[in-house]
Amino acid sequence: MEGILALCHFCETHGPCVILCTQRFKQEPNQSSQNLSASCDACFSINANQALICRENGKMYVTTRVPLQQDLAFLLKQAAIRSLSCEEETSKDGGSIYFGDSERGHVISHSFLLQDSLARGFQRKYSVLMLMKDKVHLLNIWPSLSEHIKELIKDLQQQAARINELEQEQKSQRALRQAQGSPKTTSRSLSELTGQPAIFGHIHLWFSWVLNSETITEKSPRNVMPLPSRSPVNLRSFCRSWLKNNFQTVCFCVLTGCELLVDDESVRETFRTLLPEEWPPCRLRPPCILKYKKIWKVEWSEQLPNKLPSLQIEIEKALRNPDLPDAALESFFNYLLLRWRNIASNLVKVTSPDDVTLLQSMGVQDCDKPLLKYWIENCK
Ligand SMILES: [Zn+2]
């Protein structure tokens, strides 16, 4: 499932509900619209049997009242309820929060208020949220998504404030209502609140633009690029025959971008299996010199860290594992390398690569940072 962007509202009559959502499709969806529960002006957007559609780069962006797929409609409704009733950012200027799990989907939500002189408390509550199955990707795009959402909200709030001001000038509704002590509220649509008859068309275009934007779209060209076929069997024999510290030092050097200086091309070739691609060494890292004097000796100006990168530990474990046959080793290596190349590729797009929550969610620890620094540079 790709991400769904939705606008939700806490209706004074119907409670929390989804009023508009946009999804991306590869081809025209053939589902028919859902049976919708009752709605009033406040929770109305477009007709239940209506869809707003635009096309971009061979993809379709479809906006409907609720998702066409019944299971997603249910998940989105749950997310709307949580975003408007319990999961709220309480700081003054608001902000986005994350909630979710693997069953109900992962959500980034941003709730906000719009001025309305006829509403209870003179304001109405809305939220914009993104629902996705892929937690890592969602957390990855959080910074840019949050910026986009804030822009839309600011726009809506300014429009609503302008309309509210005009209304106040014409007739002080607030004073009138307070004088009458009327508890009755009048539901009004978002079009009325913002003075924009085509507001839902604007939101559809805006949601489509966000789903199409470079930072949000899940692109993984590197994932589909196969790894060069190189058997790690030689590496296994090195691992078993070399002194442990020497072997670990060379592995660490190669994985973190130190240049390997060795006369024997086959040795260099063997250690190359540790990297998913032919990457140039990092000039800032000291070289690692290998010399053969009865046994292989290693000269390197640095010390191994107390804790080796997770990938290196997993690789060594696999090489030493007698239950993992040579025939299965290459596939297992590819799996490990692809996994870490994927993490590095995802971190390329992140504006704050030191975000602890994000790194934790990807299983990245401090010991992985020297490796990732080199890998991220090569995944750009
Ligand atoms: Zn309603």
Where along the chain do its domains lie? 4-212, 223-379
Two structure tokens written together for 205:
């275009």
Mean pLDDT confidence for 285-289: 94
Q: What is the mean pLDDT of the chain?
A: 84
For residues 355 and 335, give the distance between their C-alpha atoms in angstroms, rounded to a whole number.
26
Determine the distance separating the centroid of ligand 1 and the alpha carbon of 96, expressed in angstroms. 24
Instruction: Give how far Cα 353 sits from Cα of 75, 106, 206, Å.
Output: 30, 21, 27
Determine the distance separating the centroid of ligand 1 and the alpha carbon of 57, expressed in angstroms. 36
Determine the distance separating the centroid of ligand 1 and the alpha carbon of 14, expressed in angstroms. 4
Two structure tokens written together for 245:
């510290």
pLDDT score of 244? 94
For residues 272 and 295, give the distance between their C-alpha atoms in angstroms, rounded to a whole number.
20
CA angle 62, 65, 67 (to 5 degrees): 60
Determine the distance separating the centroid of ligand 1 and the alpha carbon of 124, expressed in angstroms. 12
For residues 101 and 97, give the distance between their C-alpha atoms in angstroms, rounded to a whole number.
14
pTM value is 0.57
pLDDT in tens, 144-183: 788 888 888 999 999 999 998 888 877 765 666 666 655 5
**CB within 8 Å of 380: residues ≥ 6 apart:** 348
Whether the pLDDT of residue 299 is over 90: the answer is yes
